[in-house]
Structure formats: structure tokens, C-alpha cells
């Protein structure tokens, strides 16, 4: 399953729209129903409107009716593995359990693995909104 996620993340990577940073990213996630969804980063001439691959991937899952993901792969062709940015970590926490897995993978086949809890300890979650 991990290898299929890497393939899906690479497919998304090849669609990245990143003319400003030239930093292409693809992501793929596995839903609890066994479906794979993917997404790439989409930049904008108004730079701050850029959306990362991870958030577009999760949004794609939500569009497909999927709100729970067990694994997410972030793929780049950089020598240094790419971790999710802070904004994406917050969005990941919304849709992935604390023990769910997030992998960074590169073209050399190097892999780094984190749990969601490691990426964003003591996260603000929907539970914090309960009065």
C-alpha cells in the first residue's frame, strides 16, 4: 500500500503548479475505506494564496466523501526530505488520528516517517471547541 501511495504522490507531483518557487510537491493519502487520493501544490501570482500539496490532497479526499486518512505520503525530488508545513500539520490533525502515519519520500527513495502526534503535539482540535 505504501508503494501505491508513493506512485499516486508522484503522479500528483508531476501536476504541481509551482512557477514561482519551482518547488514541486505531490501528496497522496489512504482513506479508512482503502481509497487513495492525491494532490499537488498550486501556487498563485498573489503568492500567499498558494495551497500546499498536503492540503489539496486532503481536500480532494473530502470532495470524494472521505474524511479519515490513515497514511499520507509527501513526495518531492529534493535531496532533503520535505516535511509538511505548519498550516498543513493543523489540517492533517483535523482528518488523521494521532497515531496515523505521515511519510516524506524523495526521488532517491529515502523515507522519513512521523506519527501525526509527533508532527503537531498538543494540537488544537475539534474537541477543544466543546463547551
Ligand X SMILES: O=c1ccn([C@H]2C[C@H](O)[C@@H](CO)O2)c(=O)[nH]1
Q: Which residues bind ligand X (CB under 6 A)?
A: 18, 21, 23, 25, 41, 43, 50, 52-54, 74, 82, 84-85, 88
Least separation in angstroms between CB 88 and Zn ion: 3
Q: Do residues 68 and 61 touch, judged by C-beta distance below 8 A?
A: no
Residue 43 site contact among Zn ion, ligand X, none (CB < 5 to 8 Å, cut-off depends on kind): ligand X
Q: Which is nearer to Zn ion, 47 or 131 (CB)?
A: 47
Least separation in angstroms between CB 20 and ligand X: 7
Please indicate whether residue 54 is annotated as part of the active site: yes
Least separation in angstroms between CB 17 and Zn ion: 15
Residue 74 site contact among Zn ion, ligand X, none (CB < 5 to 8 Å, cut-off depends on kind): ligand X
93 grid coordinates: 490533525
Q: What is the DSSP string of 66-123?
A: ---EEEEEEEE-SSS--PPPHHHHHHHHHHEEEEEEEEEEETT--EEEEEHHHHSTT-
62 grid coordinates: 473530502
Q: Which among 3, 43, 54, 71 is annotated as catalytic?
A: 54
Residue with cell 508545513: 85
Active site residues: 54
Amino acid at each position: 500500500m505504501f508503494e501505491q501511495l508513493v506512485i499516486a504522490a508522484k503522479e500528483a507531483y508531476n501536476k504541481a503548479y509551482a512557477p514561482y518557487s519551482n518547488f514541486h510537491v505531490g501528496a497522496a493519502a489512504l482513506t479508512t475505506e482503502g481509497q487513495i487520493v492525491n494532490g499537488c501544490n498550486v501556487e498563485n501570482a498573489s503568492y500567499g494564496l498558494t495551497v500546499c500539496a498536503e492540503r489539496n490532497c486532503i481536500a480532494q479526499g473530502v470532495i470524494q466523501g472521505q474524511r479519515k486518512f490513515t497514511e499520507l505520503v509527501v513526495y518531492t525530488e529534493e535531496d532533503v526530505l520535505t516535511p509538511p508545513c505548519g498550516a498543513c500539520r493543523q489540517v492533517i490533525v483535523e482528518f488523521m488520528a494521532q497515531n496515523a502515519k505521515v511519510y516524506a519520500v524523495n526521488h532517491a527513495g529515502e523515507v522519513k516517517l512521523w506519527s501525526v502526534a509527533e508532527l503537531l503535539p498538543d494540537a488544537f482540535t475539534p474537541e477543544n471547541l466543546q463547551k
